[in-house]
Each structure stands twice: as structure tokens, then as C-alpha cells.
Amino acid sequence: MPLKNKNSKPVPWELNIEDSNYQEQPWKLKKGKSHITIEKDKSDRSNFHLKKDDERILSLQEEQARMTYHQLIEFGYKLQKRKQSQSKEG
């Protein structure tokens, strides 16, 4: 069965700080006890690292990361919202 085109829905790394759903990386998706972390590769900002639980890191190109993110959401994973931390003073 072909996958639906989900490219119209934004992924977390496409949002700007002004957007209401904006989150800094790493982005964590959770389903039950399983969690997956997605973050940009520090040496090559066009690639992403994906890691499930304590398994090894998988390197993906941007389009692969986008499709994987949408598939994870379809499989029932939820993006974890982090609490906004207050700015530190002094």
C-alpha cells in the first residue's frame, strides 16, 4: 500500500521560534515505554540523527527524516512537549 503524501504537514525542525508549536532540538517522540530522539547532525546540518531507546544512532538525510517522523506519528508516537524554562538571570 503506498504511503500518503504527508509533506504538507510541518515537522518540528521546520518551525520558527514565533510558531506556537516551536520546540528546540532534540525532538523526542514517545509511545508507551519506547522513545525516539531526532536531532540535527552537528557537523552536517542537512542530516539528522535518529536514535531509538538505547540502540545505535541512525543517520538520515532530511527527506528521510521527514518521512520517518510522519510514519512514527502514524504508528502512534507522540511528540513530547517540553516545559518552557524561565530565562536565567545573573
| pLDDT tens column, 31-84 | 999 999 999 998 887 899 999 999 999 999 999 999 999 999 999 999 998 765
* Beta carbons of 28 and 37 less than 8 angstroms apart: yes
pLDDT for 87 equals 43
* Beta carbons of 65 and 57 less than 8 angstroms apart: no
pLDDT for 9 equals 83
Radius of gyration of the chain (CA): 14
pLDDT for 74 equals 96
pLDDT for 4 equals 52
Amino acid in position 69: Y
Distance CA 41, CA 43 (A): 6
Distance CA 51, CA 54 (A): 7
pLDDT for 38 equals 96
Q: Residue 90: pLDDT above 90?
A: no
Per domain, the residue ranges of the chain are 26-79
**pTM of the predicted protein model:** 0.79
